[in-house]
Amino acid sequence: MKLAELQTAFQGAVLNGAQPLPGSILPSRQQGAEERFKIYQDAYRLRLTEFLSSDYPALRVILGDDDFNTLAAAYIEDTPSFHRNARWYGRGLPDFMRVHEPWQDCRAVTDLSLFERALADAFDAADCEALEASALGSVAAEDQPKLRFSFQPGLSVLSLAQGTAAVHQAVSEDSEVPTPSATEEETVLIWRDCSQQSFYRVLEENEALALDSAVAGGTFAEICGLLSLRMPEDAAVNEAAVFLIRWFTDGLIAGFSCA
């Protein structure tokens, strides 16, 4: 058998146990050919399951080992790796869970996987200097309404089942795990600051509205406009300014423009 044919047959039989293994595999003194080949079939599944366990530790705790392994097995059979780097293999797990039973009917676990994926993405996102609020000192007062902001590459704003962040925290602290809401949502901000630490916090409704708008490219005036639907205009401007200062303090903001 030529090398290319052998590799195609070998890979096919590792991925799909139902495929015949390459006929050229010889037995050893102690093992038959099938038993020897099974080492590679088992190693493939074990290794990818380890990647998923590493990326989704809280999900593994919440599901329990058996159910997590069932999920991992389903994902692995559905999703071969096209990545040279194991880091990216598990990124598709939340999307897989959202369209496959039984996980699609359980928002609490699907959202926990989204939360953990965002934490992983923040962890090794591209480095970017955080801007300090004092940088705004160069902006003329008449230009301030036109301010738009860019954010750290690892920043995510997620709408999740209410209680998802608390579940993650409880698992991390090995404390009693709360039950997320089946109907209510929370907005969670996840980011990494210049100290290379990843953080998250649950946003209250007004800040969530403002940050959503800012991340989508909304101007400071547009952010104030959104908030003014919920409060008097002066209060909206003050509130937007308070949020902005906090985003600078937290190291979320990478740049701004006044165009």
Partner 1 sequence: MQDLSPLGLPSRLGFGLGLRPIYYPDILEQKPRVDWFEILSENYMVPGGRPLTMLDRIRADYPIVMHGVSMSIASTAPLDFDYLKGLKALADRTQPAWISDHLCWTGVHGLNLHDLLPVPYTLEALEHVVERISRVQDFLGRRIAVENVSSYVTFAESEMDEWTFVEEVAERADCWLLFDVNNVFVSACNHDFDPQAFIQSIKPERVVQLHIAGHSDFGSHKIDTHDQPVCDEVWALYAEACKRFGSASTMIERDDNFPPFSELLAELDHARAIADPAHANVAEAVE
Which of 83, 91, 102, 132 touches partner 1 by CB under 8 A?
83
The closest of 168, 209, 160, 157 to 185, measured between CA atoms, is 160
Closest to partner 1 by CB, 43 vs 235, is: 43
Q: With CB under 8 A as the contact rule, which of the stretches 2-10, 61-69, 111-119, 223-231 interacts with partner 1?
A: 2-10
**Binds partner 1 (CB under 8 A): choice among 65, 77, 78, 124:** 124
- How many residues belong to the site for partner 1 (CB under 8 A)? 50
Interface with partner 1 in residues 192-251 (CB under 8 A): 192, 196
Establish how many alpha carbons lie within 13 A of residue 257's alpha carbon, considering only the half-sphere containing its beta carbon.
Answer: 5
**Position 77 contacts partner 1 (CB under 8 A):** no
* Gap between the Cα atoms of 42 and 49, Å rounded: 11
CB hemisphere CA count around 247 (13 angstroms): 27
The 3 state secondary structure assigned to 116-140 is HHHHHHHHCCCCCCCCCHHHHHHCC
Q: How far is the CB of 61 from partner 1 (least distance, A)?
A: 19
Pairwise CA distance, residues 196 & 240, whole Å:
27
Kindly state the smallest distance separating residue 28's Cβ from partner 1, in Å.
6
Residue 232 burial (CB count, 10 A): 10
Nearest-approach distance from CB 20 to partner 1, in angstroms: 14
Looking at 95, 123, 177, 246, which residue binds partner 1 (CB under 8 A)? Answer: 123
Q: Does 24 bind partner 1 (CB under 8 A)?
A: yes
- CB neighbours of residue 7 within 10 Å: 12
Contact predicate 78/92, CB 8 Å: no
254 is a site residue for partner 1 (CB under 8 A): no
57 binds partner 1 (CB under 8 A): no
Residue closer to partner 1 by CB (options 7, 104) is: 7
Residue 164 sits at the vertex; the CA angle it makes with 87 and 86, to the nearest 5 degrees, is 5
In this chain, which stretch among 18-26, 215-223, 229-237, 242-250 interacts with partner 1, using CB under 8 A? 18-26
Determine, following the binding rule CB under 8 A, whether residue 15 of this chain makes contact with partner 1.
yes
The Cα 37–Cα 25 span in angstroms is: 8
Q: Which residues bind partner 1 (CB under 8 A)?
A: 1-4, 6-8, 10-11, 14-15, 22, 24-26, 28-31, 33, 35-37, 39-40, 43-44, 47-48, 51, 80-87, 89, 122-128, 153-154, 192, 196
